[in-house]
Amino acid sequence: MYRIEVSLSADRDLEKLKARIRRQEFQRLRIAVGGLAEEPRPQGVRKIKGEERAYRIRGGSYRVVYEVYDNDKLVLILQIARRSETTYRQQ
């Protein structure tokens, strides 16, 4: 089992989302994040190019960016944001 920690910025993201989104969507997001404790690289995960430990997963209409520290058995949540058409567009 991995320990999950949430950065201050991701915690702020969660607080904003909690007030704005439907309960069902928020629960889906919580399940996606909670599942990282058992499997930090679940099916559908994407490694972020150019980063050593960073990954992203989808939780409904939202994406979660996080880092995995295998030696410490730690998953650090960095960002939670709504996906949009411009989310992954190359500049």
Distance CA 80, CA 29 (A): 9
Q: Which CATH number fits domain 3-82: 1.10.645.10, 3.30.420.40, 3.30.2310.20, 2.40.50.140?
A: 3.30.2310.20
* Segment 48-87, tens digit of pLDDT: 988 889 999 987 778 899 999 999 999 999 988 887 655 5
Distance CA 25, CA 14 (A): 12
Residues 8, 38, 23: CA angle, nearest 5 degrees: 55
What is the residue whose two structure tokens read 């629960």? 27
* Segment 47-58, tens digit of pLDDT: 998 888 999 998
Classify strands 62-69 and 54-59 as parallel, antiparallel or unpaired.
antiparallel
Q: CA neighbours within 13 Å on the CB side: how many for 50?
A: 0
Q: Residue 85: its pLDDT value, please?
A: 54
- pTM beyond cutoff 0.95: no
